[in-house]
Amino acid sequence: KKKNRKMNAAALLDRVSAFFFDCDGVLWHGDTVIPGAAEALHFLKNKGKKVFFVTNNSTKSRAAYVHKFRQLGLPAEEQEIYSSSFAAAAYLERIKFAETKKKVYVVGEEGIIDEISALGIECLGGPADSGKVVSYTEETAVDKDVGAVVVGYDRSINYYKINYANLCINDNDRCLFIATNRDARTHLVPSQMAAGGGSMVGAIVGCTGKEPIVAGKPSSLLVEVLVEKHNLKPSQICMVGDRLDTDILFGKSNGMVTLLVMTGVTDEALLAQADATCKPDLVTHSVADLFVPQTKM
């Protein structure tokens, strides 16, 4: 049963100076833009609001994201985009991983490799290991210089990658296990919920018995980077998302105003079950509701 939900956008605009938007399920589904998203973004920018895009999708670098935004007719600059692949790289930068001269093994796609390589860190794995098969008779040779395994969404995940990650994490001295995110499910097409990046992370948890450091939402890492870099106050930021367990939890646990849109993975039944840690401050049907026509603000 769908409720007629529309919030008071004018009151929200008075309260906040910046907006963090999730992308999948909020601005688009796959390659289909959500109606009214472009108008809402232009409107907020014209009102002088700072706008950032904080996504747990790790498959693209920020440059590739700009291309996608432009293709869909959405206004975005590279410095406004913060993906979970960027978050994983930001974590490695924060701990000065490059200074160790160690390498990173990637279970994931190009976005992770692009962001980590940009720090001067050598990456192994990723798409290059998509066709590899584990031998039944010989040991898998593992590079002892791998000091971190970064796991994200990977449409070409296979046993070779899972096993190589397992061998690095379990056998290499103090090897870090970093997840871009743990989203259980995702929209690849609007009509269906597919397995998300959390399924790849789960495979590595299953064989190592270790829990990862999570770089993307709901971890506080991205907020810390953004708040510091753009001189923001968390209480003046509105996090707009479609997921309770990542977007809304991320906003609430970091002191932001939270707005749930009903165009993504959350339906009325899920919303009704939400506990206090991920109950949104505001709920509205779509991102289009942020556009306030002929407002006299």
DSSP 95-162: TTGGGGT-EEEEES-HHHHHHHHTTT--EEEGGGGTT----SSSPPP--TTEEEEEE---TT--HHHH
Q: Residues 14, 22, 114, 171: which is the catalytic one? A: 22
| β 146-151/103-107 pair status | parallel
Dist CA 21 CA 249 (whole Å): 14
Residue of 280, 229, 275, 235 lying closest to 255 (CA atoms): 235
Helices 110-117 and 84-94 cross at an angle (nearest 10°) of: 30
Q: Are strands 213-214 and 192-195 parallel, antiparallel or unpaired?
A: unpaired
Contact 172, 142 (CB under 8 A): yes
The tokens for 101 are: 């001269």
Of 107, 66, 44, 55, nearest in space to 289 by CA? 44
22 is catalytic: yes
Cα–Cα dist 169/240, whole Å: 35
Q: Which of 24, 129, 154, 289 is catalytic?
A: 24
**List of residues 6+ apart from 44 with CB closer than 8 A:** 13, 19, 51, 290
Q: Tell me the catalytic residues.
A: 22, 24
